Structure 1
Amino acid sequence: MTERTTPTFAQRIRYICGGTLPPQLSDWVINDLTGPGAAGRYLMRILIPIIPPLCLFLLIPGPLWMGLSMMALLYLPLIYFTVALMYVYRRHRLAKHGLDPHLADARERQRGSAERLDYERRHGRA
């Protein structure tokens, strides 16, 4: 039997809800948290599921703008803090899976080293 490289549906739901995956899926976890599209996946997992409960504000009697403004009073700070805490969340999830939290900023280090090499090449230091 071959080893799975992606989580099953049940494992994925558990992962989205904050659970951990088996160690053989570590590569998938690293790619999910640090790979291409990681920021978009993170934002969707947090910002989309909260919309239906916020829509309950539309059931409050009164003008539509009042329900929408109450939704906005909760949703806009949620967006702000979700984006602000993205790095912390990634590091936490990596550590929770027994992985090195420094993997969260590996892309930034690669980009920084590429910029440094380019700078040194342009200014005759390399």
Structure 2
Amino acid sequence: MSARSTPNLPERVGYICGRTLPPSMRDWVLRDLTGPGATRRYLLRILVPLLPVMALFLLVPGPAWMGLSMAALLYLPLIYFTIALTYVFRRNRLLRHGLDPELADAGARAKEQVQRTAYEQRHGRA
């Protein structure tokens, strides 16, 4: 029996909740954390499941704006810190799966290298 390279539904739910996947799925984890849409997936996994919890504030007696404002007082800082800690989260997940945490910003470093090479060619330093 060969090792699977993608997680099944229970493994994926566990991964979303913070569990580590088997080494055979490292390529999938790498694509998930550094590939196209990685930031969008991260934000959706954190922010969307909490919407029903935030909706519970609408059950507080009083005007609807009061429940919405209480939910906003919690949800807006959550959004801010979730975005601010995206890079840290991705590096930690890569490290926990036995991958190099420097891969979290490999795309940005490659783009900077292309810009640097173009700059050096334009200004005669290459």
TM-score normalised by L of structure 1: 0.96
Name the SS of the counterpart of 2:66 in structure 1. Answer: helix
**Partner residue in 2 for 1:81:** 81
Task: Return the offset for 1:121.
Answer: 1.6
Q: Which amino acid aligns with 1:119?
A: Y
Task: Return the offset for 1:39.
Answer: 0.2
User: Can you give the 5+ residue segments of structure 2 that lack an aligned partner in the other structure?
Assistant: none
Name the SS of the counterpart of 2:121 in structure 1. Answer: helix
**Partner residue in 2 for 1:42:** 42
User: Can you give the 5+ residue segments of structure 1 that lack an aligned partner in the other structure?
Assistant: none
1:5-84 matched pairs, under 5 angstroms:
5-84=5-84
**Partner residue in 2 for 1:102:** 102
Identity %: 64
Q: Paired residues, what number? A: 126
C-alpha offsets along residues 67-114 of structure 1, whole Å, 9 cap, x if unaligned?
111111001000000000001100110111111111111111101101
When the two chains are superposed, the root-mean-square deviation of aligned CA atoms in Å is 0.9
Mapped to 1, the partners of 2:38 and 2:75 lie a distance apart of 21
Which stretch shows the higher mean deviation, 110-119 or 1-10? 1-10
